[in-house]
Amino acid sequence: MLVILWDPDTLLHKTVELLGSNLIPALESPERLEAILKALHNSEYRAGTRPLSSLWEGPKSRLLELTSETHGHEYLRHLRNVYEEWLSAGLIEQDGHVLPECFVFPTSTGKPLRPPRDLFARAGYYAFDMSSGIMSESYRAMIASANLACEGTDMLCGFDDRPNDIDTVVALCRPPGHHCDGQRAGGYCYINNAALAVSTWRSHQSDAQIGILDIDFHHGNGTQEIFYADAKVLYVSIHGEDEFPYYTGVEDETGSGEGKGMNINLPLKVGSPIEEYLEKLDYGLKKLVEFKTEFLIVSLGFDTFHADPLGHFQVHTEDYETIARTTRQALKEVPALVLLEGGYVIEHIGANMLSFLKGWKSA
Ligand code: OKP
Ligand code: ZN
């Protein structure tokens, strides 16, 4: 059985970004999720689409504990408080947006990195780009998004006395997560939802073999970083070569220490035909099967769509059906958590999700 989770609180985050040299409403918008929900509600998946809103009295301590396994305490404190701090200091008006200015850079001093004292400057210590604005409701949305990954994982693991007829949970997360390395925000990501899913699964089964298939158009630098030395997490990513986030995603990044060989980057030239995309997918899936993946996390981005403003692949609506079917056929019956990452064509994102679900269910 396949369940789709979302949380109305995730719709509250609505910020700005610097794209090119223009300050614009962030392309990672509530309308993306609304379009997906609209498509689901008019489909056979209506009954399986469940709103979660269990956070009314604040996030559960379990969620925060699991999140702090990979996210620095000071970083999380920043995410929680920075909007109010900037407001009190007069750095923004009510309903304004926190956007960083000066970022951390490498030095030869050997000094440990430390956050600047200046409140305005500090935002740049906890971010790596200018597509990670923070407004009044952002923290609430981030926590709600992360909670979907956590609750979704719990539904799948069947170790408690839960009915475990659920084999797939699709978590309609926003903000997304794969660019966040646990210490800084960037690329619309603040909390790494995939990493939280790993921590959640491990709270039930500590030695599990966990596979992450990242099929967002962009390289998941954050997920790669968090699991780079981890022998029990295999990270496989297919992404646009030389594209955002620019500094990661090359094939020679294969993992370190115990995790050597456990990081597989499959960059693809922009404009490549779908056949080449599917070849990379087959290769990645073969590795995930050989690894004996016991829990599969799919970081799913619809910015691979041919018309996406931030992606430049040749993937069409019907191809998501093939991608999903191929993935599920390779890893049949493995409990799977599908996390929404990017995808910025509002008019097609709903149809693309339906196509993906059709392929997944028909595997
Ligand atoms: C987030 B996700 C390109 C600017 C890109 C941020 C893109 C974030 C993508 N010149 N700005 O992976 O979909
Ligand atoms: Zn992306």
Ligand 1 atom 13 nearest Cα:
342
ipTM for the complex shown: 0.97
Rounded-to-integer distance, Cα 197 and Cα 153, Å? 6
pLDDT of residue 50: 87
Element (H, E) at 186: none
Q: Which atom of ligand 1 is nearest to the CA of 303?
A: 13
Expressed in angstroms and rounded, the spacing between residue 99 Cα and the centre of ligand 1 is: 15
pLDDT in tens, 85-96: 999 999 999 999
Kindly calculate the radius of gyration of the chain based on its CA atoms and give it in whole angstroms: 19
Expressed in angstroms and rounded, the spacing between residue 301 Cα and the centre of ligand 2 is: 6
Rounded-to-integer distance, Cα 221 and Cα 230, Å? 15
Task: Select which of 78, 179, 219, 348 is catalytic.
Answer: 179
Characterize the bridge pairing of strands 210-214 and 233-240: parallel
pLDDT in tens, 300-316: 999 999 999 999 999 99
- Run means of pLDDT, 10 residues per run, the chain, 363 residues: 96 97 97 98 92 68 96 98 98 97 93 95 98 97 96 86 82 98 98 98 96 98 98 98 98 98 98 96 98 98 98 97 98 97 98 98 97
pLDDT of residue 52: 87
Q: What protein residues have CB closer than 5 angstroms to ion ligand 2?
A: 216-218, 301, 303, 342
Annotation marks residue 239 as catalytic: no
pLDDT of residue 164: 75
Helix (H, G, I), strand (E, B) or coil at 349: helix
> Minimum-distance ligand to the CA of 220?
1
When the pLDDT of each residue in the chain is averaged and rounded to a whole number, the result is 96
Q: Which domains does the chain have, with CATH numbers?
A: 2-57+145-361 (3.40.800.20)
Rounded-to-integer distance, Cα 226 and Cα 210, Å? 13
pLDDT of residue 206: 96
The pick from 15, 131, 216, 352 for probing ligand 1's pocket by mutation, whose C-beta has the most ligand atoms within 8 angstroms, reads 131
Residues having CB within 6 Å of any atom of ligand 1: 131, 176, 179, 187-188, 216, 218, 244, 301, 303, 310, 341-342
Ligand 1 atom 6 nearest Cα:
187
pLDDT of residue 158: 77
Q: Which of 349, 358, 356 is nearest to 37 (CA)?
A: 349
Expressed in angstroms and rounded, the spacing between residue 62 Cα and the centre of ligand 1 is: 31
- Inter-residue long-range contacts of 307-311, CB under 8 Å, 24+ positions, other chains counted: 307/345, 307/348, 308/217, 308/343, 308/344, 308/345, 309/27, 309/344, 309/345, 310/27, 310/217, 310/218, 310/244, 310/342, 310/344, 311/217, 311/218, 311/240, 311/243, 311/342, 311/344
Expressed in angstroms and rounded, the spacing between residue 120 Cα and the centre of ligand 2 is: 28
